[in-house]
């Protein structure tokens, strides 16, 4: 990519643009000076192309109105390139940029809504979750920034956790949810096929895992896999209840991020998993994250209504 930030490309783009405009002007000029050509008998000379036996293509100049309309588009393009960026690194007389316009809009929004968000930032997360106005704002934030992965109903999909239940990989308190949104999360499960001893042992452990949640399983394979589960217990615990500090899920319930059948569990153990939740603190700022975290917490909890008069 280093080649594309060279000054050469700015000159190249500007030259191509100018040459294209001049070429259009030259073409229009040559066509505007053209006249109807007739032969010695006074008949209009044709192009020689005939369709359906009697439809002849003439070789007349373009209509004047069309020519002037084309000239107007050229004049417009010259004016546009004078005012706005389009000629390589030339920024235009107005020095407009999409980044600059975005910054201006963000500054206006901050001036208008900043005090409201700061008001919520000063409150406890549960109190914010109980505020109808804050929840409405949090819902809009969620639909804009979170629904792409977790779904508009917050119930997630394969590989993306549901936020509408009480099963949390990294903890479900308001503070931990806020931390997840601010800093992001990176949940990694290594591929354990080789560590367990091969495909058969992976299948045995998968069936033992199924026993932890009372799911249908092969009892013989589960009995053989129990001893091997010690490799998994380092993260999930000897009882399989997981470890929120590591993002290791609870295996004793029936909530599965990638599906709970034996086939899906075998795939998870064999190939591992790697989930990344991006950090939003720099992008949204502390105040918006605060409101968003309160809304996400409210999806799986019932916030206490604020006392009358408060």
- pLDDT tens sequence across 98-139: 999 989 998 998 898 889 999 999 999 999 999 999 999 999
Higher pLDDT, 4 or 149: 149
The sign one gets for the Cα dihedral 21, 27, 30, 33 is negative
* Rounded Cα distance, 219 and 216, in Å: 9
Tokens 């004078």 -> residue: 82
Would the pLDDT of 68 be above 70? yes
| Residue 3 pLDDT | 59
* Rounded Cα distance, 212 and 218, in Å: 13
End-to-end CA separation in angstroms for the chain:
57
| Residue 4 pLDDT | 61
Q: How does DSSP classify residue 298?
A: H
| Residue 29 pLDDT | 87
Which whole number is the average pLDDT over 240-267? 94
| Residue 308 pLDDT | 43
Higher pLDDT, 23 or 46: 23
Q: How confident is the model at residue 89 (pLDDT cuts 50, 70, 90)?
A: confident
289 SS3 class: helix
Would the pLDDT of 310 be above 50? no
Which domains are seen in the chain, by residue range?
Answer: 2-36+43-83 (no CATH), 102-184+278-299 (1.10.760.10), 188-277 (1.10.760.10)
Q: Which residues contact 202 (CB under 8 A, 6 or more apart)?
A: 192, 193, 196, 266, 269, 270
* Rounded Cα distance, 174 and 124, in Å: 9
pTM: 0.72
* Rounded Cα distance, 29 and 21, in Å: 12
C-alpha radius of gyration, the chain, whole number: 34
| Residue 309 pLDDT | 44
* Rounded Cα distance, 45 and 57, in Å: 10
Least confident of 4-13, 77-86, 96-105, 268-277: 4-13
Q: Please enumerate, as own/partner, the contacts of 248-252 that have beta carbons within 8 Å and a separation of 24 or more.
A: 248/169, 248/189, 249/167, 249/169, 250/167, 251/209, 251/212, 251/213, 252/212, 252/213
| Residue 52 pLDDT | 83
Would the pLDDT of 252 be above 80? yes
148 SS3 class: helix
188 SS3 class: strand
Give the number of other CB atoms < 10 A from CB of residue 25: 14
**Average pLDDT, rounded, for the chain:** 90
Q: Which residues contact 250 (CB under 8 A, 6 or more apart)?
A: 167, 236, 240, 241, 242
| Residue 157 pLDDT | 93
């Amino acid at each position: 990519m280093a080649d594309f930030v060279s000054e050469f490309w700015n000159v190249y783009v500007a030259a191509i643009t100018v040459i294209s405009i001049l070429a259009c002007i030259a073409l229009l000029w040559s066509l505007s000076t053209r006249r109807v050509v007739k032969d010695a008998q006074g008949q209009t000379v044709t192009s020689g192309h005939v369709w359906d036996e009697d439809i002849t293509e003439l070789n007349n100049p373009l209509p004047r109105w069309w020519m002037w309309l084309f000239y107007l588009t050229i004049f417009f393009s010259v004016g546009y390139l004078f005012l706005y960026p389009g000629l390589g690194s030339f920024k235009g007389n107005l020095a407009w940029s999409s980044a600059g316009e975005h910054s201006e809009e963000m500054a206006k929004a901050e001036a208008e809504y900043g005090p409201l968000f700061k008001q919520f930032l000063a409150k406890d997360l549960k109190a914010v979750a109980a505020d109808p106005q804050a929840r409405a704002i949090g819902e809009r934030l969620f639909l804009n920034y979170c629904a792409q992965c977790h779904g508009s109903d917050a119930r997630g999909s394969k590989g993306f956790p549901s936020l509408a239940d009480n099963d949390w990989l990294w903890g479900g308190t308001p503070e931990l949810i806020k931390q997840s949104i601010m800093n992001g999360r990176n949940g990694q499960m290594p591929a354990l096929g080789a560590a367990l001893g091969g495909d058969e042992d992976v299948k045995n452990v998968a069936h033992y895992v199924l026993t932890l949640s009372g799911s249908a399983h092969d009892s013989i394979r589960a009995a053989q896999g129990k001893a091997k589960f010690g490799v998994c217990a380092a993260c999930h615990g000897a009882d399989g209840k997981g470890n929120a500090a590591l993002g290791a899920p609870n295996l004793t319930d029936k909530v599965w991020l990638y599906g709970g059948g034996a086939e899906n569990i075998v795939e998870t153990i064999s190939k591992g998993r790697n989930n990344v939740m991006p950090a939003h603190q720099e992008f949204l700022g502390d105040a918006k994250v605060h409101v968003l975290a309160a809304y996400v917490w409210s999806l799986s909890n019932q916030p206490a209504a604020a006392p009358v008069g408060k």
